[in-house]
Amino acid sequence: METLIYMVVFNFIALMIAFKTKIGLYTVSPEKQWKEAHDKFEKNLNALKKIEIDNFKMDTGHMYESE
């Protein structure tokens, strides 16, 4: 009987921890994170396009790839 009480109390505590964790898990929506990442990418891409260097070219290849 004592073991059963310990198991119930332990499971209740684990369940409460799980619910508290789940509540705090999605504090920032994924769409907001994606929008922030997309905005940073667009800002960096526009900055790269504004670079005024004669031999600078944007390409689809890897930057360390030998030509």
49, 58 Cβ separation under 8 angstroms: yes
Question: What pLDDT, in 10s, does the model give residues 23-67?
Answer: 777 666 778 889 999 999 999 888 888 877 667 666 777 767 665
Please report, for the chain, the start and end positions of each structural domain, with discontinuous segments joined by +: 2-49
DSSP the chain: -HHHHHHHHHHHHHHHHHHHHHHHHTSS-HHHHHHHHHHHHHHHHHHHHT---TT----SS-TT---
pTM reported for the whole predicted model: 0.41
| Predicted local distance difference test score (pLDDT) of residue 7 | 97
Tell me how far the alpha carbon of residue 37 is from its chain's centroid: 9
Q: How far apart are CA 60 and CA 33, in angstroms?
A: 25
